[in-house]
Amino acid sequence: MSTPTLTPPRQPLFSRLPVISHLKKSVGLQRGMLIVGVVLSGLFILTSIFAPLLAPYGYSQLSDASGSFPTQEAPGGKHLLGTTVGGYDVLSRVIWGSQTAVTVIIVSVAMSLFLGVALGLLSGYFGGWLDRILVVVADAIYAFPTLLLAIVISIVISRGQSSFWGGIFSCAFSITVVFVPQYFRVIRAETIRLKAEPFVESAKVLGASSMRIIGRHIFKNATRTLPLMFTLNASEAILTLAGLGFLGFGIEPTSAAEWGFDLNKALADTSSGIWWTGVFPGIAIVLTVLGLTLVGESINDLNDPRIRGRKRAGATPGTPKTPGSPTSPGTPSTTAEAGTP
């Protein structure tokens, strides 16, 4: 993304970055939502990076110097969040689980971005029979229950369970197949719209090749909505991963920690009143998805001038209540706190 020289002076790169620029033009409630989202997502990413330092034990550790871990021990003492029926430390597995989730998000979204964008650009630009077939196929996949599709694909790839990278890739690939039609649709629609724009026409007149037009002129314009789709799909990826794990098609506990798998094992514990094995991984899922969704939703709202709240010009005395002033995101963050536990 080198800055062209002919355009009027722009703001520094930092303020043009997706989330930062949105934060700058947000106000009041929307700003609060965005901040809560960014904080939660940031925590999630930091936890995943520093998991080896944060987690008291390994994700598949069953004993330490003083002997094996007790099973189904209540939170407190040596095991801050208790232990599972298999004797794993709940806190460690929750922390390590973030690493699995981040890896799956990155792999799956990267793959679906690449495939979806490429297919969307080609299909939208060239049209014809290829376009028609791709549209029908994408629509068919789009209408199908995503989890079901993910299950089928994860069986095909890993036949159930597997090693860390095997499991990661089978989950990520299942999620990819689900997402590609979505990216494809959006990019194709944008490409078709852009194809009729004068600047594409003039590029053609100047003799630019199709590849150059697609790569240079259409690609940049058609992919503006991608940060939004990325955040929304990242949260969906986590839910699909957890769903697969919950049904037993995830990653084995000895290969990696996975929240959905832990919830599956915790299901049997609930009837005897053991809550800590399920509640903590569940909260981890909810907070992560919540954070990513809040970021995505806010970006979506802020991109739409009809929905975007506007900064009030000066503090007019007639303004009713002032939580709308940009400096105090108090209102939304209190609601967030009220709703989180």
Binding status of residue 151 toward another protein by CB under 8 A:
yes
Query: Is 293 among the residues that bind another protein (CB under 8 A)?
Result: yes
Report the C-alpha gap between 191 and 208 in whole angstroms.
17
Residues 139 and 181 sit within 8 Å (Cβ to Cβ): yes
Write each residue from 302 to 321 as x if it is in contact with another protein (CB under 8 A), else as -, in one continuous string: -------x------------
- The site string for another protein over 126-145 (x = CB under 8 A, - otherwise) reads ------x---xx-xxx-xxx
Whole-number minimum distance, CB 220 to another protein, in Å? 30
Within 44-73, which residues bind another protein (CB under 8 A)? Answer: none
At 247, list the tokens. Answer: 């049904």
Dihedral angle, C-alpha 277, 279, 281, 286, nearest 10 °: 170
Q: Is residue 175 close enough to count as binding another protein by CB under 8 A?
A: no
Contact in structure between 151 and 249 (CB atoms under 8 Å) = yes
Residue 173, C-beta contacts closer than 8 angstroms, at least 6 positions apart: 108, 111, 153, 154, 157
Q: Which of 117, 75, 62 is closest to 254 using CA atoms?
A: 62
Residues touching another protein: how many (CB under 8 A)? 55
Q: Are 68 and 325 in contact (CB under 8 A)?
A: no
Comparison of 145 and 305: residue with beta carbon closer to another protein: 145
Sign of CA dihedral 198, 204, 210, 212: negative
The interface with another protein within residues 196-255 (CB under 8 A) comprises: 235, 239, 242-243, 246-249
> Considering the rule CB under 8 A, would residue 97 count as an interface residue with another protein?
no
Q: Which residues bind another protein (CB under 8 A)?
A: 28-29, 132, 136-137, 139-141, 143-148, 151-153, 155-156, 159, 235, 239, 242-243, 246-249, 260, 263-264, 266-267, 270-273, 275, 278-279, 282, 285-286, 289-290, 293-294, 297, 309, 331-332, 335-336, 338-339
